[in-house]
Structure 1
């Protein structure tokens, strides 16, 4: 009887610390969780490391560190505690990352969005905690498990609810990293996977040793850190820009600026339109004086004409003045009323010199932003905040990819936040785009948001082997090469015109050809990890054991 009681004490592993988590039996046993207060610090540190890895801070190498600290915080916790620690990391990360969303509104939308995004990291923490006892038994599976779980979390967050919000994907922190080059093979999901794998190697190296302290502990530490370095270094061997060049085009971007920052900038929409007209006319003057090569096409940003030029003859005349002066087609970011009463559309219009608008060539934004460009479930949303009524008219989505012939080029047009969505950008390239164009309006945000968006443009250029540009009302605008480098980046809240000869490319990268499949396979891998953990946990529970999961004498256990 005494031996049986000793065995139960050795195998039950019941936590009596009050932390709601489960440790190992005895000291120094593999897999024992950190004390709750250290997990708390690790969760906060994970959020901070992730935040600083993104623009404008740009410390990309901290993203794997953030993944590692996140894994340490939730390791061997109960799923509910894992959710709590994960959500805490998410709050520390997303609340400041998305602070630009409250610049001209109340704090409520910002905090609600940040809370929603944090909940996805909470879910990741719960799942990571659930599978962690199995990972303990195969130490070097940690990198792969971290990789597939992060990709699965992002895949869910990118799509739900109301089409998702992909801001803050690990891949978008890597604009200055060698890992950016992996986008040419597997797009953003592969870059995220690599970042998380590197973080998993760090955990495998530095988590409390599976071996006695001493020389024996040095080998796994060196191997783990070496693995993380090797993953990052793998980016250097991936070729980029392998798509063939079929010609060139001289492209001008007009950043007209907005007279006064603020949510009510649309009240000054005529001044914004005039700024872009005047910038283009001044460019035409420089061309006539021989100071600047004539562009083959001109790109104006999103909302450069918030006056519907198809209904307002004066606005149309002003745009025609600019097109006729420069002698080149202009891609105009405009807001059109209709097609039904109370509806509007966010569009890219092709405006031809001597002709006017080409009604056959128009891109209608396919993914309007919920609660900013349209309000789903408006009656219910109004119960939460009457601020939703600031969106007086709902933007309606288009159905066709933004593939627009513009002068000598076929451009792939995406508008503002659409650059964050893999499929929307890929559709333009599959449809024949030779050049990627991102029209955006950052006037209601700040420079941090603009630079985060430019990082996404850089990834898309590498992913699809297309040179790209971002045209913003206030900045940051710039040109991007197929290797992700930025040329002629503009300042913020300034009026500028930039001109550059860009390559027109055809063909498809590996990432363009395989499309969604890398993400699908990695998500399936995440499902397999959870399934294996579920089977193991069921088999590890002996008949009649109640709530204890027994891992065997001398090994760690977890109380359910």
Structure 2
């Protein structure tokens, strides 16, 4: 049917489907939007020549990213202090580039698969996984808004610890393929069987507990200072930030571990080491330890790092996955003009090394900083030794946009994938205590100054997703794509 529609109508439907797919992600979290939107996209590709299919996929991508990552504009305009035209152009360029992923997938699918047949549609669904894999790796990667994230707190959640976000995304895409088959009269029952079979396979997975509690519970506190970016980087921003965080930390007396967010204090560690020591000593009198998000400096290499420091032991972790155009400028020599326009403080950082593992509060934790939570490989690196996860973030850059809720959703996915609770401390929200099954045990408000406190159970053991990574899901997707392509070849 779609091949009878004019191209503009197909493009409009694909654009709306892409925009509608974002409803499956936080803050809305309406899961059916994901398979339904994918089903519309897939249906529009059936019978289409490859050029028309590529345009259809591009329209889907424009709708998906054009709505889903609008926060990039907010970050550049308000907090990067970029001129309106520059912020608009950078955001538009980013969306235009990201939309190429579904465009390429659509064109290749139309060229090498028979989408009128079940094998072709199933191969297209598997292609979504390979598309997301490419998006997560190429040019440092952008593993944001992956369809596997939408299964959180649904009957399909069991796929996250089994095969990770890509396996869960494959299930979502296969549901979409099943829905398209249901619309085809001669294949209605096979489509219904595929959808029903996926749910039947999913239900037992929700009963499996891959990891187990180990040791005593920990009382933890996350300090959310809610200091505006402009105030933070004012001439007296260091003293003001220290006062705010030291005062709030006194409210956390009795906690085993207190966590300050990413770059809580806008200074180098060496500049405020004495102030931090005084606060840490106060905390130690009640049996607590302090983790601080701070900048660190290597005087020999003159490198500056985005770090987390354990004040009691002096151990530190330097962020590995830096944000392009936020923490460093790619091709700085050629893009120096852009660096001057954006005016982002501390935007010439160096990447760290290590796996993020650190001994804190009598147990071993896996530390990550902000954007690293979007990279499953970084979160699973300190496992199985790590008994719980800590993520510090500065979501103030996002403002009142979709991003804080989306970032929290990603953090919850990481907890489920690894079977570990997560302590998440942010500057302006949302700070949260996340259970190993993704439930929110405690959470802060957005743009509120508060101390979030609660209890976590350190856990031991390994989920298959943590042990094997995305390999099995990628292999399954490749097999399905090869089978679909082979079916077309046999039929020609």
Please, what TM-score do these two structures have when normalized by structure 2? 0.89
**Could you say if the C-alpha distance between residues 534 and 374 of structure 1 is closer, same or farther in structure 2, counting changes exceeding 3 Å?**
farther
Describe how 1:230-379 pairs up with structure 2 within 5 A: 230-232=197-199, 234-238=201-205, 239-261=207-229, 265-267=232-234, 268-284=237-253, 294-317=254-277, 319-320=279-280, 323-324=283-284, 326-339=286-299, 343-352=303-312, 358-359=313-314, 361-379=315-333
1:167-198 per-residue CA deviation (whole Å, 9 max, x = no partner) reads 11101222232222211110111001000000
**Could you say if the C-alpha distance between residues 454 and 524 of structure 1 is closer, same or farther in structure 2, counting changes exceeding 3 Å?**
same
From 24, 30, 43, the counterpart of 1:53: 24
Separation of aligned partners in 1, 2:421 and 2:209? 9
Separation of aligned partners in 1, 2:295 and 2:353? 17
**Equivalent position SS for 1:347:** strand
**Could you say if the C-alpha distance between residues 274 and 82 of structure 1 is closer, same or farther in structure 2, counting changes exceeding 3 Å?**
farther
Separation of aligned partners in 2, 1:270 and 1:532? 66
- Please tell me whether the aligned partners of residues 25 and 406 of structure 2 are also in contact (alpha carbons under 8 angstroms): yes
**Equivalent position SS for 2:214:** strand
Relative to structure 2, which stretch is displaced further, 507-516 or 435-444?
A: 507-516
**Could you say if the C-alpha distance between residues 56 and 340 of structure 1 is closer, same or farther in structure 2, counting changes exceeding 3 Å?**
farther
**Does 2:101 correspond to 1:120?**
yes
Aligned to 2:165: 188
**Does 2:148 correspond to 1:171?**
yes
Separation of aligned partners in 2, 1:385 and 1:531? 46
**Does 2:110 correspond to 1:150?**
no
- Please tell me whether the aligned partners of residues 309 and 315 of structure 1 are also in contact (alpha carbons under 8 angstroms): no
**Equivalent position SS for 1:375:** coil
- Please tell me whether the aligned partners of residues 220 and 456 of structure 2 are also in contact (alpha carbons under 8 angstroms): no
1:259-287 per-residue CA deviation (whole Å, 9 max, x = no partner) reads 3355x743334433332221111222xxx
- Please tell me whether the aligned partners of residues 250 and 502 of structure 1 are also in contact (alpha carbons under 8 angstroms): yes
Separation of aligned partners in 2, 1:188 and 1:327? 38
Aligned to 2:84: none
**Could you say if the C-alpha distance between residues 236 and 527 of structure 1 is closer, same or farther in structure 2, counting changes exceeding 3 Å?**
closer
Aligned to 1:468: 422
**Structure 2 unpaired stretches of 5+:** 81-86
Q: CA deviation at 1:117?
A: 1.4
Q: CA deviation at 1:32?
A: 5.1
Aligned to 1:552: none
Q: CA deviation at 1:535?
A: 4.3
Q: CA deviation at 1:384?
A: 6.4
**Equivalent position SS for 1:176:** coil
Separation of aligned partners in 2, 1:39 and 1:340? 59
**Does 2:399 correspond to 1:446?**
yes
**Could you say if the C-alpha distance between residues 474 and 34 of structure 1 is closer, same or farther in structure 2, counting changes exceeding 3 Å?**
same
- Please tell me whether the aligned partners of residues 297 and 407 of structure 1 are also in contact (alpha carbons under 8 angstroms): yes
From 60, 73, 86, the counterpart of 2:57: 86
- Please tell me whether the aligned partners of residues 240 and 462 of structure 1 are also in contact (alpha carbons under 8 angstroms): no
From 80, 87, 92, the counterpart of 1:111: 92
Relative to structure 2, which stretch is displaced further, 275-284 or 163-172?
A: 275-284
**Does 2:137 correspond to 1:159?**
yes
**Does 2:13 correspond to 1:42?**
yes
**Could you say if the C-alpha distance between residues 337 and 497 of structure 1 is closer, same or farther in structure 2, counting changes exceeding 3 Å?**
same
Q: CA deviation at 1:245?
A: 1.7
- Please tell me whether the aligned partners of residues 201 and 227 of structure 1 are also in contact (alpha carbons under 8 angstroms): yes
Q: CA deviation at 1:155?
A: 0.6
Separation of aligned partners in 2, 1:381 and 1:72? 42
Separation of aligned partners in 2, 1:488 and 1:231? 32
Separation of aligned partners in 2, 1:39 and 1:324? 64
Please, what TM-score do these two structures have when normalized by structure 1? 0.79
**Could you say if the C-alpha distance between residues 534 and 340 of structure 1 is closer, same or farther in structure 2, counting changes exceeding 3 Å?**
farther
**Could you say if the C-alpha distance between residues 82 and 43 of structure 1 is closer, same or farther in structure 2, counting changes exceeding 3 Å?**
same
Separation of aligned partners in 2, 1:271 and 1:95? 38
**Could you say if the C-alpha distance between residues 142 and 197 of structure 1 is closer, same or farther in structure 2, counting changes exceeding 3 Å?**
farther
Separation of aligned partners in 2, 1:128 and 1:245? 45
Separation of aligned partners in 1, 2:259 and 2:343? 32
Q: CA deviation at 1:314?
A: 5.0
Separation of aligned partners in 1, 2:26 and 2:405? 6
Separation of aligned partners in 1, 2:359 and 2:456? 15
**Could you say if the C-alpha distance between residues 482 and 96 of structure 1 is closer, same or farther in structure 2, counting changes exceeding 3 Å?**
same
**Equivalent position SS for 2:452:** strand
**Equivalent position SS for 1:344:** strand
**Equivalent position SS for 2:175:** helix
**Equivalent position SS for 1:348:** strand
**Could you say if the C-alpha distance between residues 194 and 322 of structure 1 is closer, same or farther in structure 2, counting changes exceeding 3 Å?**
farther
Aligned to 1:455: 409
Pairwise CA RMSD: 2.5
**Could you say if the C-alpha distance between residues 265 and 32 of structure 1 is closer, same or farther in structure 2, counting changes exceeding 3 Å?**
same
Separation of aligned partners in 1, 2:387 and 2:437? 16
**Does 2:435 correspond to 1:478?**
no
Separation of aligned partners in 2, 1:237 and 1:34? 42
**Structure 1 unpaired stretches of 5+:** 1-27, 212-219, 285-293, 353-357, 541-560
